[in-house]
Amino acid sequence: MAPDGVSVHITRVALSDPADLEHIGRMSETQNLVAAARLLADLQPDCISWADTSGSFMFGPKGPTEQENAIRQATAVPASTTSTAVLLALRRLGVRRVAVASPYIDEVNRKLVEFFTSHDLEIGRLRSLELSQEGAIHRAPPETVYRLARAAWFDGAEALFIPCTDFEAINLIHLLERNLGKPVVTANQATMWHALRLAGVTDGVAGFGHLMEMDLPPAD
C-alpha cells in the first residue's frame, strides 16, 4: 500500500495467546507502546501508527486519543491508532451503518460494538469466527475470511468493516467491493490510509479499495 517514495518501518509489541481482553490489555499498556514508538522515532519518521484494532478500541471512546498523545509526547512525531484511522475512514466515506466481519471472541466484540456506538456508528450485523488464539487469527485462510464477510453483510449496510491487523483481509477488498457494491474498510488498509495522511501524502493508491483510491486530503 506504500506509494513510490514512501517507506514503511515496523517493530512489534509482544502479544502472548490467548487473544482475550486481559492479554490484549497487557500488550497495549502505555509503556509498551511508548517503548516501541521510541525505537521507530530514531528513524525520524513522518508519523507513527499503533497498528492494532482491539488494542486501541478496548479502552473506551477516548482510549485511542490517549494512546496517540502518549506516543506523540514521547517521540515528538504525529501519531495514530488503527481505531482512530477506522473512524476517520468511515467518516470520509460518509458511512454510518456498518456490517462487521470479526475474528474476535465475544468479550472483544462487545468492546468493539461499544466503541462504535460511542462514536455514533451503527453496527447492523456482526459475524465472528470467535477465535481465541492469536495464531488462529493470522492463519485463517482467505476463503474463510471471505465467507465470513458475506455472512456479515445485510441490506442497508453502507460499508463492510473487517477488524484486526492480524486478520488476512487486505487482498479481498477489491473482490468484496465488486460483489457488495459498497466500500470495504479493513484494519490494515485504514491504518495505512491515515498514516499516509499524517505523512502529508495526498495521492490515491490503486489496488486496495475505494478508500485508498481517493485522493487523500492532509490530516487535520
**Domain containing 143 — which CATH number?**
3.40.50.12500
Q: pTM (2 decimals)?
A: 0.95
Cell of 154: 445485510
Q: Which of 166, 165, 132, 128 is closest to 149 using CA atoms? A: 128
Q: Looking at the domain assignment, is residue 150 inside a domain? A: yes
Q: Looking at the domain assignment, is residue 211 inside a domain? A: no
Containing domain of residue 141, as a range?
Answer: 85-188
Classify burial at 219, counting beta carbons within 10 Å of its beta carbon; exposed 0-12, middle 13-18, buried 19 or more: middle
Let me know how long the chain is. Answer: 220
The pLDDT assigned to 171 comes to 95
Q: How many domains does the chain have?
A: 1
Q: Looking at the domain assignment, is residue 64 inside a domain? A: no
Distance CA 112, CA 110 (A): 5
Q: Are 179 and 160 in contact, with CB atoms under 8 Å apart?
A: no
Q: Which of 109, 203, 215 is closest to 162 using CA atoms? A: 109
Determine how many CB atoms are found less than 10 A away from the CB of residue 114.
Answer: 13
Q: Looking at the domain assignment, is residue 100 inside a domain? A: yes
The pLDDT assigned to 203 comes to 84
Q: Looking at the domain assignment, is residue 20 inside a domain? A: no
The pLDDT assigned to 15 comes to 80
The pLDDT assigned to 218 comes to 60
The pLDDT assigned to 217 comes to 64
Q: Looking at the domain assignment, is residue 203 inside a domain? A: no
Distance CA 212, CA 179 (A): 18
The pLDDT tens digits along the chain (220 residues) read 999 999 999 999 988 778 899 999 999 999 999 999 999 999 999 999 999 999 999 999 999 999 999 999 999 999 999 999 999 999 999 999 999 999 999 999 999 999 999 999 999 999 999 999 989 999 999 999 999 999 999 999 999 999 999 999 999 999 999 999 999 999 999 999 999 999 999 888 999 999 999 866 665 5
Q: Looking at the domain assignment, is residue 121 inside a domain? A: yes
Q: Looking at the domain assignment, is residue 165 inside a domain? A: yes
